[in-house]
Amino acid sequence: MRAGSRGLPNKNLLPLAGQPLFWHSLQHAQQAGAARVCITTDIAPLDLPPALNLPVQVLTRPAHLAADDTPMLPVLQHLLTQTDLIGTLVLLQPTSPLRQAVDIAQALALHRSGAHDLVMTVTEADRGVLKWGQREGERFVPLGSPEMCFANRQSLPPVVRPNGAVYVFDADWLRAHGTLATPRTGVVVMPPERSQDIDNANDMARCEALLSSTPNPTTA
C-alpha cells in the first residue's frame, strides 16, 4: 500500500467502520488462515491491529515503486527479492475492504486444483462492452466477434471484470514467469456489493454504508 493517492490522499490509513482501511485486509488474511503477512509500503511508522494473531513483516517500498502509475508486478517482484517467500501467495489489496474470507478460500481451493497458474476474483460487468472495439487508423476492430456489435445487449454472453480483491499464485511461478499474465487464469465470481474498490471519497462513503448495513461483514 502506498502513502500517496490522487483520488483520496492517505486513503489506506483513513478510518472505515471505526478502523484504518488497511486493517480490514489484515483481518481478512487472519480469518482466511494466513500463515504469514507481508506488507509492502512507503508508509512509516505503521500501526497494526492489536488483536492480529499472525506474523507480519513490513517491507519498505522504494519511492520509484510507490508512484501513482506503478503497476503491481514490479512491486511483487521487489517483495520476492527481499524475502524468502515460497509456496502459495495471496495478494490482498487494501482498497478492497468488503471481500470476505470465503472469497479467499474459494480462490485458494481453485488454485490448489492445479488447473490454473493464477486465480483472481471477478464480478459481473455490463455485457454491452462486447459491442465496443478499438480504432486502428480509420478501421474499427471489435473486441468480440463482429456480429456482437450489432446484437441486442440482452442476447450477448455474460461478461466479468477483475475486481482487484484477491489474486492467488505460486511464488516460484512468478519468479520464473516474470509476469502475472497467463492464459491459465482461473476466476472466482464475487457479488457486486463485495467488489467495491476505494479510489475516492465517494467510494469510501459507499463502503461505509455497505459495512453498516451488513452484519458481521468480514466473517466468512
Domains detected in the chain: 11-213 (3.90.550.10)
Q: How far apart are CA 187 and CA 20, in angstroms?
A: 29
pTM: 0.92
Confidence of residue 113 (pLDDT cuts 50, 70, 90): very high
Q: What is the pLDDT of residue 215?
A: 60
Average pLDDT over residues 109-117: 98
How many Cβ atoms sit within 10 Å of the Cβ of residue 214?
A: 14
Helices (H), 46-137: 72-82, 101-112
Average pLDDT over residues 92-111: 97
Report the share of the chain in percent with pLDDT over 90.
87
Average pLDDT over residues 62-81: 94
Q: What is the pLDDT of residue 149?
A: 95
pLDDT (tens digit per residue) in 175-198:
999 999 999 999 999 999 999 999
Helices (H), the chain: 21-31, 72-82, 101-112, 171-177, 201-213
Q: What is the pLDDT of residue 213?
A: 82
State the chain's mean pLDDT as an integer: 93
Do 74 and 172 meet the contact criterion of CB atoms below 8 Å apart? no
pLDDT (tens digit per residue) in 14-48:
999 999 999 999 999 999 999 999 999 999 889 99
